[in-house]
Structure 1
């Protein structure tokens, strides 16, 4: 069963700065949902978050965010509070990259 919300979805409803490096018309938002969720969580505003919830639903987003490989600490904190999760439930919190962040000493 296809998601009818996804068929009627217009990416122009999101903030344009989320798509600074891609051609929006070329994106398959069903296949690229993890990419869109990551972009909205890290760079979006509250309206973008609400549109994302409307598009995919809380359960689908919750299922995807715990498996994202890289999120900043602020995004992890927001998601943990929103979904009532422990920070250790996130893959990106427990499996940090082996290289350190360039800007942090």
Structure 2
């Protein structure tokens, strides 16, 4: 099943992409693709994992940048407040918030 998912190795610059388990590390892989991947990578993970699994994994992700969070909230029609990263972001006070 892994042969169906072809992602650029540059997305996984800090690990050996050949040793990556696509099912066990789904949240890690999906997170990298949504924050750093291309539109083709996005459609590839949607086809491989399915929209429900992508949504469920991203709801539990600890960190997403603001653009990615807004996009996923809009795409899946889920309020930002339901994402774990949004809740964690609000509970950590900013030191210098200009």
The TM-score bracket by the shorter chain reads 0.7 to 0.9
Q: CA deviation at 1:16?
A: 2.9
Could you give the per-residue CA deviations for residues 47-101 of structure 1, whole angstroms, max 9, x where no partner exists? 0000000110001111111111111110000101110111111010012163648
Unaligned runs of 5+ in 2: none
- Higher-helix-fraction structure: 2
Deviations 1:14-64 (A, max 9, x none): 223202111111111111000001000100010000000011000111111
2:68 aligned residue (75, 78, 92): 75
Paired residue for 1:9? 4
What is the TM-score normalised by the length of structure 2?
A: 0.87
Q: CA RMSD in A?
A: 2.0
**Please, which runs of 5 or more residues in structure 1 have no aligned partner?**
1-5
TM-score by length of 1: 0.81
